Chain A
């Protein structure tokens, strides 16, 4: 069962080709990480998959129930937190649904706060709750933790892992963090020159130990695919 099927995705900005025929498949409930250098077109591909980019061409098969968390939280500053969570939803007991989603991300107590009073990590968790409350079949995450400090990021990763285990949506996670990809994903894709250049299957059972020998090999291969020399990266880590 494939949830997502993308064929020949192309996007050009002012005569510059950013996507040149990218192909992507994500199975039902599969967790896929998308890596690539900065400016390689990861966000562009994600927006195209989300149906937010009218300028992208290609064949996109995506479920209707999808939700996206952006690089920045993008909450409406003039709406209370719980109102942000239920943005665009209709039906009864919206507040109850918002509170349940906020409980899952540990922020039920801030339901009536203004978004501007939240910390960066809290804002991203609200954005995550806003995605969750839609019970998506496909969850698109665009470096949701990129701007967080290391400790908060690890907590947020654990949260995403738990939410994915509980709800089992198909996930496409854009990240530039190799550790993050290896901790969370079933498969890691590398975007280069406008298409998916390499694929790595992370065949390590969960929960994953960071020093699992297979992960170490994968990490080296992935870094090489991203154009980082291994000896260098070992020194920095």
Chain B
């Protein structure tokens, strides 16, 4: 009979429950875990560097691959001569200008489409069709339109981030619970208040996903934009090094790209930690 089976299962599981002593339930000290977390994050990076160093000195990576030590040396030289700062400064300025335009446009279009039906009807179709174009294929067109100077490079960096930000802002707004909007309305919230206190905070998690993607595309566009017709920027540094077979300098630039990506990610994480403190999502075991 099924009922007796059920009863027996209960009895069988009972000792396991009563057998857990109090010490087994004690949670690990939260302070301890928090202090170790950043260290744990670093271990992955340290492991990569160690593997690289070992691989380079053992010759697994080919004779032309520099070891981390050599790369650090090359970076030291470039910093000593002031070249690195100069080129990095130029690149950062390009990205800053491009992202400022691209993020602003993406945000404004997404907000307009999200908040006004009319705007969505007008904006959405053209954006959806443009989105499918790989924007990096636009390089020749941009050079025809904007010349080979700074403008075409900044335009290329600006165009990519628009789409992910637009999409995520729009979907974030569409995802806000209608019942919360109704409840806020019943509290007499004004139109502006509704946007600032309900719709934007509700859409923020999704908007930050869009920001993360947009920043990633911004860096990617920088790499492509600096491949051609430039005399400054870290991309130029890399091209120049290729001409002179300076693999160590090429690796310096690669490491810089990686670090920039890492800092971007940390930056978005910081915003998330501050702005999404109210969320109680699953954080992993």
Contacts and interface: CB of A to CB of B under 8 A. Distances in A.
Are A and B interaction partners? yes
A26 B62 CA distance: 88
Nearest to B185: A52
A77 interface: yes
A82 interface: no
A139 to B, nearest CB: 12
Interface string A13-43: 0000000000000000000000000000000
Interface string B172-198: 000000011011111111100100011
B197 A79 contact: yes
Nearest to B189: A88
A122 to B, nearest CB: 15
Contacts of B193: 88
A111 B60 CA distance: 61
Most buried by B among A70, A77, A78: A78
B98 interface: no
B209 to A, nearest CB: 16
A114 B277 contact: yes
Nearest to B194: A88
Contact of B201 (A74, A76, A88): A76
Nearest to B177: A74
A88 B187 contact: yes
B201 A78 contact: yes
B278 A87 contact: no
A130 interface: yes
A67 interface: yes
A222 interface: no
Contacts of B198: 76
Contact of B179 (A74, A79, A115, A134): A74
Q: How many residues of A sit at the interface, in one of the four size bands?
A: 20 to 34
A178 interface: no
A67 B186 contact: yes
Given A114-B277, A116-B278, A76 B197 contact: yes
Contacts of A115: 278
Interface in A54-93: 67-68, 70, 72, 74, 76-79, 87-89
Contacts, number: 53
A3 to B, nearest CB: 17
Interface string B187-231: 111100100011001101000000000000000000000000000
Contact of A130 (B179, B187, B197, B278): B187
Contacts of B278: 77-79, 114-116
B179 A88 contact: no
Given A70-B179, A114-B277, A116-B280, A78 B202 contact: yes
Contacts of A78: 201-202, 204, 278
Contacts of A117: 280
A50 B193 CA distance: 20
Contacts of B180: 74, 76
A88 B188 contact: yes
A117 to B, nearest CB: 8
B258 to A, nearest CB: 34
Contacts of B188: 88-89, 134
A132 to B, nearest CB: 12
Contacts of B186: 50, 52, 67-68
Contacts of B182: 52, 74
A89 B204 CA distance: 23
B277 A79 contact: no
A132 B185 CA distance: 16
B201 A79 contact: yes
Contacts of A67: 186-187
B275 to A, nearest CB: 9
Contacts of A76: 180, 184, 197-198, 201-202
Contacts of B179: 70, 72, 74
A94 to B, nearest CB: 13
A87 B186 CA distance: 10
Contacts of A114: 277-278, 280
Nearest to A68: B186
A134 B184 CA distance: 13
A18 B180 CA distance: 24
Contacts of A77: 278-279
Shortest Cβ-Cβ A-B pairs, 4 listed: A88-B187, A74-B183, A78-B201, A88-B189
Given A52-B185, A87-B189, A134-B187, 7 more contacts: A52-B182, A76-B184, A76-B197, A78-B201, A88-B184, A114-B278, A116-B280
15 contacts: A50-B186, A52-B185, A67-B186, A74-B182, A76-B180, A76-B201, A78-B202, A79-B201, A87-B187, A89-B187, A114-B277, A114-B280, A116-B279, A116-B280, A134-B187
